[in-house]
Structure 1
Amino acid sequence: MEYSRFLDCLAADFARLRAVVPTDLRAPVPSCPGWTVADLTRHVADVYLHKTLAMREGAEPDPWPPKEFADEEPLALLDRAHAGLLDEFAARKPEDPAGSWYTPDQTVGFWIRRMAQETVIHRIDAELGTGQQVSPVPADLAIDGIDELLTVFVAYSVAGWGDYFTDILAGSPGRTYTVRTDGAAWRVRTGPGLFAVDGGADSGAGDDAADVTVSGPPTAVLRWMWNWEGAGEPAGVTVEGVPEAVEELRRCIVTATQ
Structure 2
Amino acid sequence: MTGRALADYGRLLEVLDVEGDLLASSAGGADPALAVPNAPGMTLGGTVRHVGSVYRMVVAWVRAGGHQPTRWQRAPEDGQTLEDYLRTGHRALVEQLAEHDPEEACSTWWPLHQAYGFWYRRMAHESTIHRIDVQQAAAGMTVGAISEDVALDGVDEILSLWFTHRLGVLGVANSWRGQVAVVAGGQQWIASMSAGGTSAWRAGEDEIEGVDASVTSDPTGMFLWLWGRRPIRAVTPAGDRAGIAQLWHLLRLATH
TM-score range normalised by the length of the shorter chain: 0.7 to 0.9
Native 8 Å contact 2:61 2:69 kept in 1: no
Q: Does 1:21 align with 2:31?
A: no
Shift of 1:233: 5.4
Pick aligned residue for 2:137 from 124, 129, 137: 129
Distance, in Å, in 1 between the alignment partners of 2:248 and 2:72 is 29
Pick aligned residue for 2:92 from 84, 97, 112: 84
3-state SS of the aligned residue for 2:142? coil
Distance, in Å, in 2 between the alignment partners of 1:128 and 1:247 is 25
* Structure 1 portions without partners, runs of 5+: none
Q: Give the aligned partner of residue 216 of structure 2.
A: 215
- 1:136 maps to amino acid: A
Pick aligned residue for 1:247 from 239, 245, 248: 245
Native 8 Å contact 2:23 2:134 kept in 1: yes
Pick aligned residue for 1:198 from 192, 201, 207: 201
Q: Give the aligned partner of residue 139 of structure 1.
A: 148
Native 8 Å contact 2:17 2:94 kept in 1: no
Shift of 1:250: 1.5
3-state SS of the aligned residue for 2:205? coil
3-state SS of the aligned residue for 1:250? helix
Distance, in Å, in 2 between the alignment partners of 1:73 and 1:23 is 10
1:153-176 CA-to-partner distances (Å, cap 9, x unmatched) read: 2112344x252x02xx1x43x211
3-state SS of the aligned residue for 2:28? helix
Native 8 Å contact 2:103 2:116 kept in 1: yes
Q: Give the aligned partner of residue 177 of structure 1.
A: 180
Distance, in Å, in 2 between the alignment partners of 1:146 and 1:92 is 25
Shift in alpha-carbon separation, 1:207–1:243, aligned structure 2, 3 A? closer
Native 8 Å contact 1:151 1:197 kept in 2: yes
Native 8 Å contact 1:186 1:206 kept in 2: no
Shift of 1:121: 0.7
Shift of 1:66: 4.3
**Which consecutive aligned stretches of 4+ in structure 1 deviate over 4 angstroms post-superposition?**
64-72
1:11-61 CA-to-partner distances (Å, cap 9, x unmatched) read: 222232122112423311123322221111111111111111111112354
Shift of 1:217: 0.7
Shift of 1:4: 1.1
Shift in alpha-carbon separation, 1:234–1:175, aligned structure 2, 3 A? closer
Native 8 Å contact 2:56 2:73 kept in 1: no
More helix by share: 1
1:188-213 CA-to-partner distances (Å, cap 9, x unmatched) read: 2211023222216xx42664143321
Q: Does 1:115 align with 2:113?
A: no
Shift of 1:241: 4.2
Native 8 Å contact 1:187 1:205 kept in 2: no
Shift in alpha-carbon separation, 1:110–1:38, aligned structure 2, 3 A? same
Q: Does 1:74 align with 2:82?
A: yes
* Structure 2 portions without partners, runs of 5+: 1-6
Q: Give the aligned partner of residue 37 of structure 1.
A: 44
- 2:57 maps to amino acid: H
Pick aligned residue for 2:8 from 2, 6, 12: 2
Q: Give the aligned partner of residue 63 of structure 1.
A: 70
Shift of 1:64: 4.5
Pick aligned residue for 1:155 from 153, 164, 174: 164
Distance, in Å, in 1 between the alignment partners of 2:87 and 2:62 is 19
Distance, in Å, in 1 between the alignment partners of 2:245 and 2:40 is 19
Q: Does 1:224 align with 2:221?
A: no
Q: Give the aligned partner of residue 3 of structure 2.
A: none
Q: Give the aligned partner of residue 11 of structure 1.
A: 17
Pick aligned residue for 1:51 from 46, 51, 58: 58
- 1:56 maps to amino acid: R
Q: Percent identity?
A: 26
Distance, in Å, in 1 between the alignment partners of 2:162 and 2:108 is 13
